[in-house]
Amino acid sequence: MSIDQRQAAATLERLLAGKNAAELGARLAAKDGAPVLRLAGGSGVDPETIERRWASVGASAECREALLDAQTAAQAERYKGSIESFLGTVKVPVGIAGPLRVNGTHAQGDYLIPLATTEAALVASYSRGAKLITEAGGCAAVLVNEGVTRAPAFTFATLHEAGQFIAWTLANLDALREVGEATTRHGKLKDLRVSLEGNHVYLIFEYTTGDAAGQNMVTIATQAICDHIIASCPVQPEAWYVEGNHSGDKKASAQSFLSVRGRSVTAEVLIPGAMVEQRLHTTARAMADYWRVSAVGGVLSGTIGVQGHYANGLAALYLACGQDVACVAESAVGVTRFELRGDDLYAAVTLPNLIVGTVGGGTGLPSQRACLEILGLAGAGKANAFAEVVAAISLAGELSIVGALVANEFARAHARLARGAR
């Protein structure tokens, strides 16, 4: 990223403040010698290993107690499959938003939504939107599509070889499907898309993953498929990689709107105008007007999709419920739309990349399992309903934040609720 000459000169002046160029160079140079600190790593979570690890950290007793309280120490074995070099747990405040009424193809009923966050006003805002939706009779939510991708890349000497490789792959798709599905009880190879760029081939495998988010599942299945290709294909690549950065994994990308990664959900609600005025202190027309302004603002700033703050609710819900929080990078891609319907407000959200699950990953950890149980969505058979609830709470957050901005209450709400400001 470039900076103009004035910024460059100011930055250089700050860097050299009190130093000459040689001194700065010495600070930035590589340093020889063994590291001063040594860590007892590994994946063990037995008391002796944890004790050695803490001894190598050299932190105070107060620091240790904050991370490794008695309950965490007693439950250490439950974290073994989720972390390496285990030291303890970090406590993030959890609040409850709702009730949120969802009239979905999978989620039906009123839900209380656990949100883990350190941002004051967030839970209050999402709760306000959830209550508004519920008072209006609930939002409709539809799971439109599902699939998790992994995209291995293969490089060849020539375009001709790449084309021969694609032809062989497509002719042997049934065998590849059998190899991949043999690695999992729940994953199914749903589709294969091919991207050819010169002498590079990207095979975009798309799987369904049952009730798991499925990131590890599809990686292991794709590794097995690639191993089979290398062992069997008469056209051998010069190099290959199990992920060629074409899947959109944990990134906001334009292809989010062209396919699916995880679960794609759309949700809508019609809010009576009188309810908008009573609960959000503004009008349906003002909400729709703001949406048009914000949509243009999003285009001008180059956002992928147009929405207010999906990442806020998604990160808080993912953290509370044991999802892979880094997937918010792609899950927060989507579209919010507000329209005036007579005196009423029509609101809709579409989120095409909800990487969520109710089994596997962090969903079995003690606190995260408890949050899923509060939702009534822990365990097998609940992932599709969970995805619809995620979209519904995102809709609640959009209604509340836009209402606050239009009514000029956004800053005041943060000032009032951020008690004990630092």
> Annotated active-site positions, please?
119, 324, 414
Q: Which two tokens stand for residue 160?
A: 């001709």
Pairing of strands 239-241, 153-155: antiparallel
Q: Dihedrals φ, ψ of 243, to 5°?
A: -140, 120
The whole-angstrom separation of Cα 314 and Cα 330 is 11
* Angle between helical axes of 122-135 and 383-406 (0-180°, round to 10): 100
Do 136 and 269 form a contact (C-beta atoms < 8 A)?
A: yes
Contacts of 166 by beta carbon, 8 Å cutoff, 6+ apart: 194, 196, 201
Contacts of 255 by beta carbon, 8 Å cutoff, 6+ apart: 248
Do 68 and 87 form a contact (C-beta atoms < 8 A)?
A: yes
Pairing of strands 139-150, 94-104: parallel
Which of 333, 336, 332 lies closest to 349 in space, CA to CA?
336
The whole-angstrom separation of Cα 320 and Cα 368 is 6
